[in-house]
């Protein structure tokens, strides 16, 4: 068999994982009744507003986030299935309606499954099968993945676009040539992000700035299309949005739900090794991504600080961890990259290697247990 005819193993595995994730997402959709926020969006925006209304700010008094992409997708899915919310909704708190649960959450299920599969493919293709499997386990041990996998709200889409953005960024950093296709891909992702959520302005700014620092490409016109235009779109929707009051309850918990304490421990450990083994600094491939991670965490803290100044809303409308969901793919990638670095650097010292593997396995198990307890509300 010539290499050309050989089946692409990672791709086949990725497809298998994608299908498996779709099945899991389908089961999750069936298990959870639709809750008020999901029904509200379907009932007041998707079913009743036209594509133009959604695109041109007519939903700003209905939804806190007036960015249209998610609602346009939901409307397209609804049109495709000729679906309209079948019940006369009287503001029930939650509704058990199997068909609606599956259709309304279809796009979220696809986006979350795609994200998981993409992460697996990236690490299998660029590192090894073990790295791919490890990335899969780290992703599945994230509380936020399980919480927003089957929810008819824009968070799974945001998760997917952030994952795509970060992976394209990593590939661009690895590539020594100025690859136009990758650059265009990242630009499209930034545009889509800006049409998904105003808050995506944070990650667009950070990724573009870090890219400018580490990439050979310094043409300002390219950065204008990469960051300037999407930030303009975000501002446009920001000025056409309705600000709801929020209260801030346990702000660090919001970050921890996305990053996990196990992730934080690993990040600190990595920093420690990076400082302690400064001679080997060149071998720490994940350090560029470390800068992204630090900037994203600082931005999240700054966001929480600004919200604490503005807070004044009711307790039930407390700021949710979902507004920081972009931190989950950031932390998953950081955990995997940092772990791979540590394992690689100490491969010749069997004692250190053993300790690092024990620590990584232990942290992963604890992360799974932590996510399970969070999902169960324990």
Partner 1 sequence: MQKSRLSAKTSKPLVTAGLLLLFAYLIVQDFQKIQGKPRYPSASHFVLDQSKVASKAKTLTLNRLLPKSFDYLLSFSQKKEPLNISKFEEYFLYYQKVVEYLPGRADAQGMLGFCGYYLGKTRQAQSALEKAIAINPQFSGFYYNLGVIYFKQGRYAQAVEALKKAAMLPPKAALSYVLSSREIYAPFFIHEKDKVGFLKEQLRETSRQTYILLIQSYLHIKNFPQALVAAKDAIGLDFDEPATFYYDAGLALYGQGNYQGSLPFLKQSVELDTGLADGYYYLGQALKAQGEENLAAQMLRRGKKEHQLHPRPKPEDEIELRIF
Site membership for partner 1, residue 242 (CB under 8 A): yes
Half-sphere exposure of 77 (CA within 13 A, CB side): 20
Q: Choose between 257 and 288: whose C-beta lies nearer to partner 1.
A: 257
CA end-to-end span of the chain: 54
Cα R_g (the chain), whole angstroms: 21
Q: How far is the CB of 174 from partner 1 (least distance, A)?
A: 33
d(CA 49, CA 105): 19
Q: Choose between 220 and 351: whose C-beta lies nearer to partner 1.
A: 351
Q: Which of these segments, 119-127, 165-173, 238-246, 270-278, binds partner 1 (CB under 8 A)?
A: 238-246
Q: Looking at the chain, which runs of residues are DSSP E strands?
A: 34-35, 94-95
Tokens matching residue 60: 């700003």
Q: Binder to partner 1 among 40, 212, 223, 238 (CB under 8 A)?
A: 40
Q: Binder to partner 1 among 4, 244, 252, 279 (CB under 8 A)?
A: 244
> Total number of residues binding partner 1 (CB under 8 A)?
56
Nearest to 165 by CA among 210, 132, 130: 210
Q: Which residues, in sequence order, are bridge partners of residue 35? A: 94
d(CA 245, CA 163): 29
Site membership for partner 1, residue 84 (CB under 8 A): no
Footprint of partner 1 on residues 327-366 (CB under 8 A)?
351, 354-355, 358-359, 361-363, 365-366
Q: Kindly report the CA angle at 363 between 25 and 210, in degrees rounded to 5? A: 80
Nearest to 154 by CA among 45, 56, 51: 45
Site membership for partner 1, residue 268 (CB under 8 A): no
Site membership for partner 1, residue 98 (CB under 8 A): no
Q: How far is the CB of 59 from partner 1 (least distance, A)?
A: 11
Q: Which of these segments, 15-23, 161-169, 245-253, 325-333, binds partner 1 (CB under 8 A)?
A: 245-253
d(CA 12, CA 90): 46
Q: How far is the CB of 244 from partner 1 (least distance, A)?
A: 5
Sign of the C-alpha dihedral, residues 128, 129, 134, 136? positive
Tell me the backbone φ, ψ of residue 34, rounded to 5 degrees. Answer: -70, 135
Give the x/- contact pattern for partner 1 in 58-77, rule: CB under 8 A: ---xx-x-------------
Q: Which of these segments, 36-44, 203-211, 290-298, 300-308, binds partner 1 (CB under 8 A)?
A: 36-44
Helix/strand/coil for 318: strand
Q: Binder to partner 1 among 139, 321, 337, 342 (CB under 8 A)?
A: 321
Q: Choose between 1 and 88: whose C-beta lies nearer to partner 1.
A: 88
Site membership for partner 1, residue 7 (CB under 8 A): no
Site membership for partner 1, residue 266 (CB under 8 A): no
Half-sphere exposure of 179 (CA within 13 A, CB side): 13
d(CA 29, CA 112): 13
192 to each of 158, 196, 243, how far by Cα in Å?
A: 9, 6, 22
Site membership for partner 1, residue 318 (CB under 8 A): yes
Site membership for partner 1, residue 79 (CB under 8 A): no
Site membership for partner 1, residue 26 (CB under 8 A): no
Point out which residues bind partner 1 (CB under 8 A).
Answer: 32-33, 35-37, 40, 44, 61-62, 64, 90-96, 147, 242-245, 249-250, 253-254, 312-322, 351, 354-355, 358-359, 361-363, 365-366, 369-370, 372-378
């Amino acid at each position: 068999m010539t290499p050309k005819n050989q089946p692409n193993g990672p791709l086949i595995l990725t497809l298998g994982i994608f299908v498996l994730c779709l099945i899991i997402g389908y089961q999750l959709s069936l298990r959870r009744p639709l809750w008020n926020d999901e029904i509200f969006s379907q009932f007041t925006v998707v079913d009743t507003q036209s594509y133009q209304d959604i695109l041109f700010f007519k939903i700003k008094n209905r939804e806190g986030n007036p960015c249209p992409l998610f609602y346009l997708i939901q409307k397209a899915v609804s049109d495709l299935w000729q679906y309209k919310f079948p019940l006369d909704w009287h503001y029930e708190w939650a509704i058990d309606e199997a068909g609606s649960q599956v259709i309304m959450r279809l796009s979220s299920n696809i986006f979350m499954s795609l994200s998981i599969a993409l992460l697996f493919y990236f690490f299998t293709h660029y590192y090894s099968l073990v790295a791919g499997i490890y990335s899969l386990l780290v992703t599945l041990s994230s509380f936020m993945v399980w919480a927003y996998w089957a929810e008819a709200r824009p968070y799974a889409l945001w998760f997917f676009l952030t994952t795509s953005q970060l992976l394209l960024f990593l590939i661009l950093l690895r590539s020594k040539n100025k690859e136009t296709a990758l650059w265009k891909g990242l630009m499209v992702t930034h545009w889509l992000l800006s049409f998904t959520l105003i808050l995506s302005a944070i990650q667009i700014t950070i990724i573009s700035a870090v890219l400018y620092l580490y990439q050979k490409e310094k043409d300002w016109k390219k950065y204008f299309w990469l960051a300037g235009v999407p930030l303009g779109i975000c501002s446009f929707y920001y000025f056409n949005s309705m600000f709801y009051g929020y209260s801030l309850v346990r702000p660090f918990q919001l970050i921890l739900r996305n990053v996990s304490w196990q992730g934080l421990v690993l990040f600190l450990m990595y920093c420690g090794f990076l400082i302690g083994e400064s001679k080997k600094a060149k071998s720490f491939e994940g350090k560029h991504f470390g800068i992204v991670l630090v900037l994203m965490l600082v931005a999240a803290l700054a966001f929480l600080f600004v919200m604490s100044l503005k807070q004044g809303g009711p307790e039930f409308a407390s700021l949710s961890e979902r507004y920081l969901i972009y931190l989950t793919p950031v932390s998953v990638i950081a955990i995997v990259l940092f772990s791979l670095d540590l394992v690689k650097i100490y491969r010749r010292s069997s004692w250190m290697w053993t300790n690092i593997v024990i620590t990584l396995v232990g942290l992963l198990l604890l992360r799974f247990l932590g996510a399970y307890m969070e999902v169960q509300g324990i």
